[in-house]
């Protein structure tokens, strides 16, 4: 081979190697500038309408509203169904972080799953924004520098709904409680408020979770106690079934009050106003609360499943995602991916602000602060339009709605 031909072959080989490397380098560059968010929730069970595809739609809406593509930041969203089982939630979380490079996990209903995922994320130094697991232990004994508890918790629900019922004369209670971490925490926190106000807890019954559909025997026990209030320390399909069967039994016609300690607007929709009217609940978001909540709802509505309006857990996914990505923009993608605790620290340092919740803040224990709204379900005659379900009874300010910082026992709080 001549020297000229030899140089031509070498040049061609070098060029081919360079062209072959370009897609690989491009892919690496793209991956380095990509944030991965994992939406982990119940996609198929009793919390599907409360979370499910609606939470995914709200996460994607936050990304769209921030216009990150124009800023050169890529965001990928993956979705997992934890089936309300801690072992499944842990396995998905580890796989996402170790194999798929997920940087932030969000939503996670079912407190037992949330507590398990909380441990994994801290171990891996990523970010966990909990919108749907209610246990207040996430900012107490189980608090983590990698976790923000975003939307509501058992302490706030107990103080707002439970406190209002006691003030209205409901000073004796019997609990129907879902037998897992959320139900136990909600019964505990509500019971503390009842006793502090001079009321009494006459008893409680634990219902198997998941899988309970027949609440008749539990309602019979509650009625036999002669308590003035039956507290439903459950959520989603359990709450719907409890209220429906209480109506069939004529429980409220006998003068007993039902306290739905955690109820979502999708639950009211499933029950219908004829059954749900008069029930009192607490939420931190209502789609028809003000002009901003209505604007957010109109943007996300085309992507919500089955025409559902977003509830507070789903709106929390929007709000939490937006604030996380604002911190990512300030720190830079590489720094945010490298250190989840530092990203959460930055989230705590900047105020929260979005159309779903308005202004707010995040405390050192990871508790996101926002107002809590005590709401009453309208009668059919009071409702003027589709999904016009609530009337506002009172508002608890953000700095009063949640457990005082010094009372939680969080290790991040210095005395």
Rounded to whole angstroms, the Cα distance separating 229 from 223 reads: 9
Evaluate whether 228 touches 171 at the Cβ level (below 8 Å): yes
pLDDT of residue 306: 85
Tokens of residue 267, six digits = 């639950």
- Provide the residue-wise pLDDT of the chain in tens; the chain has 415 residues: 444 444 443 344 443 444 444 444 444 555 678 999 999 999 999 899 999 999 999 999 999 999 998 888 999 999 999 999 999 999 999 999 999 999 999 999 999 999 999 999 999 999 999 999 999 999 999 999 999 999 999 999 999 999 899 998 999 999 999 999 899 999 999 999 999 999 999 999 999 987 788 999 999 999 999 999 999 999 988 999 999 999 998 888 888 999 999 999 999 999 999 999 999 999 999 999 999 999 999 999 999 998 899 999 999 999 999 999 999 999 999 999 999 999 999 999 999 999 999 999 999 999 999 999 999 999 999 999 999 999 999 999 999 999 999 999 999 998 5
- 222 and 333, same domain (yes or no): no
Residue that has been written with the tokens 């991965």 in this structure: 36
- 381 and 276, same domain (yes or no): yes
pLDDT of residue 415: 52
pLDDT of residue 30: 55
pLDDT of residue 283: 97
What secondary structure letter does DSSP report for 33? T
Evaluate whether 75 touches 63 at the Cβ level (below 8 Å): yes
Tokens of residue 182, six digits = 């959320």
Tokens of residue 413, six digits = 């709080």
Residue that has been written with the tokens 């919740």 in this structure: 357
Sign of CA dihedral 329, 310, 49, 371: positive
Contacts of 136 (CB under 8 A, 6+ apart): 153, 154, 155, 156, 185, 189, 403, 408
- 377 and 272, same domain (yes or no): yes
- 78 and 224, same domain (yes or no): no
Rounded to whole angstroms, the Cα distance separating 139 from 136 reads: 6
- Half-sphere exposure of residue 172: CA atoms within 13 angstroms, side-chain side: 11
Contacts of 91 (CB under 8 A, 6+ apart): none
In a domain, 296, yes or no: yes
Q: Kindly report whether the peptide bond that precedes residue 410 is cis, defined as omega within 30 degrees of 0.
A: no
- 135 and 181, same domain (yes or no): no
Nearest to 172 by CA among 146, 144, 150, 191: 191
- 112 and 127, same domain (yes or no): yes
Q: What is the CATH number of the domain that holds 230?
A: 3.40.50.2300
Contacts of 201 (CB under 8 A, 6+ apart): 172, 173, 174, 175, 191, 194, 195
Sign of CA dihedral 393, 277, 152, 328: negative
- 271 and 310, same domain (yes or no): no
How would you list the strands of the sheet with 200-207, edge to edge? 200-207, 172-178, 229-233, 257-260
- 163 and 260, same domain (yes or no): yes
- 106 and 166, same domain (yes or no): no
Number of Cβ within 10 Å of residue 151's Cβ equals 28
Rounded to 5°, the CA angle 408-414-415 comes to 80
Nearest to 149 by CA among 397, 414, 362, 383: 362
- 306 and 273, same domain (yes or no): no
Rounded to whole angstroms, the Cα distance separating 391 from 382 reads: 9
In a domain, 405, yes or no: no
Q: Structurally, how many domains does the chain consist of? A: 2
pLDDT of residue 210: 77
pLDDT of residue 249: 87
Rounded to whole angstroms, the Cα distance separating 48 from 124 reads: 28
In a domain, 22, yes or no: no
Range of the structural domain that residue 240 is part of:
155-280+372-400
Tokens of residue 292, six digits = 């901003």
- 267 and 379, same domain (yes or no): yes
- 346 and 212, same domain (yes or no): no
In a domain, 27, yes or no: no
Tokens of residue 137, six digits = 């232990």
pLDDT of residue 46: 86
In a domain, 117, yes or no: yes
What secondary structure letter does DSSP report for 210? T
In a domain, 312, yes or no: yes
Residue that has been written with the tokens 């408020």 in this structure: 193
In a domain, 13, yes or no: no
Rounded to whole angstroms, the Cα distance separating 361 from 285 reads: 16
In a domain, 83, yes or no: yes
Torsion of CA 366, 370, 374, 378, to 10 degrees: -120
């Amino acid at each position: 081979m001549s020297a000229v031909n030899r140089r031509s072959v070498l040049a061609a080989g070098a060029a081919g190697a360079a062209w072959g490397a370009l897609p690989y380098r491009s892919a690496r560059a793209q991956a380095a500038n990509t944030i991965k968010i994992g939406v982990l929730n119940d996609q198929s069970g009793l919390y599907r309408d409360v979370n499910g595809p609606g939470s995914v739609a709200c996460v994607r809406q936050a990304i769209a509203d921030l216009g990150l593509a124009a800023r050169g930041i890529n965001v990928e969203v993956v979705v997992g169904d934890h089936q309300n089982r801690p072992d499944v939630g842990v396995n998905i979380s580890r796989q996402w972080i170790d194999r798929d490079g997920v940087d932030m996990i969000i939503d996670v209903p079912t407190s037992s799953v949330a507590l398990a995922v909380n441990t994994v994320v801290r171990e891996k130094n990523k970010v966990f924004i909990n919108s749907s697991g209610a246990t207040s232990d996430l900012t107490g004994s189980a608090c983590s520098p990698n976790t923000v508890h975003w939307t509501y918790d058992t302490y706030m629900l107990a103080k707002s709904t439970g406190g209002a019922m006691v003030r209205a004369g409901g000073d004796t209670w019997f609990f129907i409680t879902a037998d897992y971490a959320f139900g136990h925490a909600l019964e505990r926190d509500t019971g503390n408020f009842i006793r502090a106000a001079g009321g009494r807890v006459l008893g409680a019954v634990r219902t198997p979770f998941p899988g309970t559909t027949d609440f008749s025997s539990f309602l019979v026990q509650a009625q036999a106690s002669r308590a003035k209030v039956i507290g439903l320390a459950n959520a989603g399909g359990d709450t719907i079934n409890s209220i429906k069967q209480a109506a069939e039994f004529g429980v409220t016609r006998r003068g007993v009050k039902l306290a739905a300690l955690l109820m979502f607007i999708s639950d009211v929709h499933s029950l219908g106003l004829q059954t749900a009217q008069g029930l009192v609940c607490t939420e931190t978001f209502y789609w028809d609360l003000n002009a901003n909540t209505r604007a957010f709802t109109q943007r996300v509505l085309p992507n919500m499943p089955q025409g559902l309006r977003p509830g507070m857990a789903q709106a929390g996914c929007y709000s939490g995602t937006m604030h996380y990505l604002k911190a990512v923009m300030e720190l830079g993608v590489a720094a945010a991916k490298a250190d989840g605790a530092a990203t959460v620290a930055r989230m705590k340092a900047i105020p929260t602000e979005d159309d779903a919740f308005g202004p707010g803040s995040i405390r050192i224990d990871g508790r996101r602060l926002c107002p809590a709204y005590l709401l009453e379900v309208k009668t059919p005659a009071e409702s003027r339009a589709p999904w016009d379900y609530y009337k506002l009874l009172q508002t608890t300010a953000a700095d009063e709605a949640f457990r005082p910082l010094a009372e939680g026992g969080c290790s991040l709080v210095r005395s």
